[in-house]
Structure 1
Amino acid sequence: MDQNNSLQPGLILDQRFKLLRKIGSGSFGIVYLTFDLDEKEYCATKFENRNLQMRMMNREILILKQMKGINGFPDLIHNGKDRQYSYYMSTLLGENLEILLQRCGGKFSLQTTLQLAIQLIDRLEVFHSMNFIHRDIKPENFLISKEDTSLVYLIDFGLSKYYRVADGKHIEFSQKTGVIGTARYASINTLQWMEQSRRDDLESLGYMLIYFVKGELPWSNVKAFCKEDKYDQILQVKMGIPLSQLCFNLPKCFINYFQHVKSLLFQQQPNYSHLRNLFEKQLQDYDHQLYDWELKQMEKNTQDVLIDPDTIPNIRLQSEIDLVPPVDEEGEAFHLKQENQHNVKFMKQLHEKYFDQNTYKQQDEFFLQKHTSIEPKSQATSKQNNYQISNHTLIQVESQPYIHNNPIQFTKRKDSKSYTSFKQSQEHKENRKFRLSNDDYDLDMANDDGPNLDLKNLEVNYFLK
């Protein structure tokens, strides 16, 4: 790749990685959805222009190599450079917590916030144990896994640094020349231009948790003419607001969290176990461990499958005469029309005779009813094709359904042939031939291989800051 051959879909890097489309950009680089031609897998490729005055990719690559294989951190797959760009390929992840927060209505439930607190404290403890501090803790730098949506990854290590030097000694406290990180979540020490340590990552995490559960922070709407004035105003609010007000209407574990973090000295190691226990005790009151975005996805999937039958107008069944191709002869067409009208009338009478108004279900109006089984009504003699629902599988029976609430009797499926748990009656034996001859109506869900991947519509959220 050279300067005349800019980044574009279809470009193949190092004879292995094919760029598909841009999925993110920021002040420090560009991210492309990429396909690994060797491993036949998707990944993310981050590019940094080598002409930038402040280059951070070398630092990121170094940290990714150190964190490789650790749960909750992306794997470094490959890295390289040419005359214009430095780049690396890493694990393709899902959406960040800011996107998920907005999708869930602008705030998370208390339960989800508690679960995130426990998991993100784990991430920082592991990261700190590798002698790094992150220095830019914010929702956009936490992404969920594409395979396990309950697993949250920590990303973007461009501002990270060692807090222990080669001989194992902690760095010295010093005054910096500016704010490093994102002002909204930055610690008070950071906004005062002080050197950061482990306590500052945890303070930023605390502000982020308050933002998750409340949907805003007291300084979220600060307005200023320039960045420096805005930083000063945010600092004044953070220093002036008492913890009781910051954590108003929240469980005491949030106040206790900040009390511990703000009591830490510059070089002091945080008590990560104590911080986790604060939130774990509060979490004991909840029955499940699903996150809000998982519940929302489950709700969406349920809405896609389970439809209230009363919301769809009834369509009366017509005989198979409607499926006969139209004929050219005028007289024959008129005859078919008359016969069709007769069949409509007949089906209406059949419906009124055999279907109870509250329980009938026509062929195109299926629904799943929990703890409800369906078995034939011995008095029914119609050969009309009816369907029965059992374990989400549609199978055909030869007589009218009778709905009752006995969960013990149920219908099973075996070797693509349908059979029932009731004792075979004489009528059932007589109709066996009819039933076997109509196996085409028995729907086999096992043959569904899922949708084909459409790269044009593939949505990937992977943000650079």
Structure 2
Amino acid sequence: MAATGGTKNLSAEMKEAAAKAAQESGIVQTALDIVQLYKGDKVATWEIIKKLGEGGFGAVYLVKDANGKIAGEYALKAEKASETTRVLKMEVYVLMELKKSNAKHFCDILDRGRANGYNFVVMTLVGPSFDNLRKTASPDKAKQKFSLGCALSIGICVVDAIEELHGIGYLHRDIKPGNFAIGKSDPRRVIMLDFGMARKYIDAQGKVRVPRWAAGFRGTVRYAPLSCHISRDHCRKDDLESFLYMQ
């Protein structure tokens, strides 16, 4: 019994240490940091319809233009204006740069700004993520797979999306099935999501930045490249390595 209790205590200590390290390095946000909005709430002119989902870096809400000037429904992400880690700022900047390059595997931004104590961005809606598509295919985990033809088509689109992101000088650093979705109106279109961990890998002169000797872990353990597990700086090949683990 004593040995069992010691093991439990050690496990708890390890979890606490891991959580503390993650928070100190800015990898995750606590639940208290996530903006909670409810049906009928407004951010600028956007009215909340419902919550679409929630992750480590915040929640996504289904919204409509309360003034009726913009038809349709859209996705809104928000973070507290007082937040010290500006995840949303990176997301907006990356999407704007991608728009300039006419990239085709990304959401369009309709609105962005600060209102009611929040920084926010409103984007076009997407369909289900690859994760959700696979899970709804069958209740049997062994059968939660795409057909060969579908997997090949998806794979080509994912590599295209990674190439477009790298083309504007950024790394994603969290490539995984949950960060890709199909188009809302075009299920053959693949869309890359979530750029809160993105990092510029080129300098102002367009040259590849010198890798850091040590870097904090970034990404999702299951799909993280080997270099992340040994605290090496992320580079372009690591995004592609994470893609291989999606198979």
TM range (shorter): 0.7 to 0.9
Q: C-alpha separation between the residues in 2 aligned to 1:71 and 1:22?
A: 26
Partner of 1:278: none
CA contact (8 A) 1:133 1:201 kept: yes
Q: CA deviation at 1:54?
A: 2.5
2:43 counterpart of 1:10? no
Partner of 2:8: none
Partner of 2:105: 72
Q: Please, which runs of 5 or more residues in structure 1 have no aligned partner?
A: 1-5, 210-465
3-state SS of 1:184 partner: helix
Q: CA deviation at 1:175?
A: 2.6
3-state SS of 1:115 partner: helix
Q: C-alpha separation between the residues in 1 aligned to 2:76 and 2:213?
A: 35
Flag the 1:146–1:90 CA change in 2: closer, same or farther, 3 A: same
Q: CA deviation at 1:64?
A: 1.1
Partner of 1:103: 136
Q: C-alpha separation between the residues in 1 aligned to 2:155 and 2:55?
A: 27
1:272-291 residue pairs with structure 2 within 5 A?
Answer: none
Q: Which 4+ runs in 1 deviate beyond 6 A? A: none
Of 33, 38, 57 in structure 1, the residue corresponding to residue 69 of structure 2 is 38
Partner of 2:19: none
Of 86, 90, 94 in structure 1, the residue corresponding to residue 127 of structure 2 is 94
Q: CA deviation at 1:17?
A: 1.9
Q: C-alpha separation between the residues in 2 aligned to 1:86 and 1:133?
A: 23
Larger radius of gyration: 1
Give the counterpart letter for 1:27 in structure 2.
G
If each structure's strand is expressed as a fraction of its own residues, which one has the higher value? 2
Partner of 1:195: 233
Give the counterpart letter for 2:182 in structure 1.
I
Of 50, 59, 72 in structure 2, the residue corresponding to residue 21 of structure 1 is 50
Offset from partner CA, 1:66-108 (integer Å, 9 cap, x none): 1125211000111111363211000111100000011223222
Q: C-alpha separation between the residues in 2 aligned to 1:26 and 1:111?
A: 30
Offset from partner CA, 1:11-52 (integer Å, 9 cap, x none): 3333x3221111112232221101132121111000112344
Partner of 2:20: none
Q: CA deviation at 1:137?
A: 0.1
CA contact (8 A) 1:29 1:49 kept: no
CA contact (8 A) 2:182 2:188 kept: yes
1:217-256 residue pairs with structure 2 within 5 A?
Answer: none
Offset from partner CA, 1:150-203 (integer Å, 9 cap, x none): 111001000001111111110112233421111111111111111111100000
CA contact (8 A) 1:80 1:86 kept: yes
Q: C-alpha separation between the residues in 2 aligned to 1:45 and 1:176?
A: 35
Give the counterpart letter for 2:88 in structure 1.
M
3-state SS of 1:89 partner: strand
Q: C-alpha separation between the residues in 1 aligned to 2:81 and 2:58?
A: 10
CA contact (8 A) 2:108 2:123 kept: yes
Aligned residues: 203
Give the counterpart letter for 1:31 in structure 2.
V
2:98 counterpart of 1:60? no
1:320-335 residue pairs with structure 2 within 5 A?
Answer: none
3-state SS of 1:124 partner: helix
Give the counterpart letter for 2:57 in structure 1.
F
TM-score (norm 1): 0.42
1:399-410 residue pairs with structure 2 within 5 A?
Answer: none
Give the counterpart letter for 2:46 in structure 1.
F
Give the counterpart letter for 2:134 in structure 1.
L
Give the counterpart letter for 1:12 in structure 2.
K
Flag the 1:51–1:197 CA change in 2: closer, same or farther, 3 A: same
Q: C-alpha separation between the residues in 1 aligned to 2:211 and 2:41?
A: 47
Q: C-alpha separation between the residues in 2 aligned to 1:166 and 1:41?
A: 39
Q: CA deviation at 1:65?
A: 0.9
Q: C-alpha separation between the residues in 2 aligned to 1:23 and 1:55?
A: 21
TM-score (norm 2): 0.78
Offset from partner CA, 1:131-163 (integer Å, 9 cap, x none): 111000000100111111111100100000111
Give the counterpart letter for 1:132 in structure 2.
Y
Q: C-alpha separation between the residues in 1 aligned to 2:116 and 2:73?
A: 25
Partner of 2:166: 128
2:51 counterpart of 1:49? no
CA contact (8 A) 2:107 2:191 kept: yes
Q: C-alpha separation between the residues in 2 aligned to 1:13 and 1:194?
A: 40
Give the counterpart letter for 1:9 in structure 2.
K
Q: Please, which runs of 5 or more residues in structure 2 have no aligned partner?
A: 1-35, 139-143
CA contact (8 A) 2:129 2:177 kept: yes
Give the counterpart letter for 1:28 in structure 2.
F
Q: C-alpha separation between the residues in 1 aligned to 2:171 and 2:216?
A: 17
**Percent identity between the two aligned chains:** 33
Give the counterpart letter for 1:161 in structure 2.
R
CA contact (8 A) 2:63 2:73 kept: yes
Q: C-alpha separation between the residues in 2 aligned to 1:143 and 1:110?
A: 18
